[in-house]
Amino acid sequence: MTSGANENLKLVIESILFVADDPVETAALARVAGRREEDVIEAVEAIAAEYRGRGLRIQRTGAAVQMVTAPEASPFVEQFLGVDEDQRISHAALETLAIIAYKQPISRQVIEAIRGVNCDRALASLKARGLVTEVGRASTAGRPYQYGTTFRFLEHFGLEKPSDLPPLPDLPPLPDLPTGEAPGDGKQEAEEADERVGDPRNEDVEEPGDRSEDEE
């Protein structure tokens, strides 16, 4: 690909990403530009490198791309737009999000095996915030849903792509579970006031007998 053709492709990609309301598939960019998808991916990486240190960022996950403002400028952008969003996450939800981010795609049963507690409420909170989503089904019995992070997750933590997460030491192997027993069933996690990161006024009303998870 010649230098002129490359610059023209970058121009087309930047223009489309600028006006797009949602992430754009690289295949769609290739179709509109009339170029190979491999050329589009190469151009996207070049644009992302050029934007580092400037006011915009290119985020990539899977086969999709989007343009966002630089995370370090978010306080100023939010002030300009009049945004006052409480983005704090509870301790339980943050633990669940970390497991998903590093082990994705991952099913609820495996998350619960790692945490040792039911995670339905944490997952519901993370899905409501748009930080995680269902990305497919596992090939194991029952074909449970598997979860992964979203573009909103990348925006929230100022990442360009999921692989930008800092490395972690190897996690211990998962415990063996008795047949038919779902991880976390029958276990309760103590409610700790100091684990609550969000505003207490936003706490869910606890249903009688439902104390298997930290309040989100």
CA distance 24 to 28: 7
Give the model's pLDDT for residue 27. 96
Give the model's pLDDT for residue 171. 57
CA distance 139 to 39: 34
Residue 56, helix vs strand vs coil: strand
Q: What is the pLDDT of residues 88-144, one digit of tens each?
A: 788 889 999 999 999 999 999 999 999 989 999 999 989 988 999 999 998 888 889
CB 77 within 8 A of CB 112: no
Residue found under tokens 């960022």: 57
User: Which of the residues in the chain have pLDDT under 50?
Assistant: 177-212, 214-216
CB 162 within 8 A of CB 170: no
Name the DSSP class of 44. H
- Model confidence, pTM: 0.58
Give the model's pLDDT for residue 83. 67
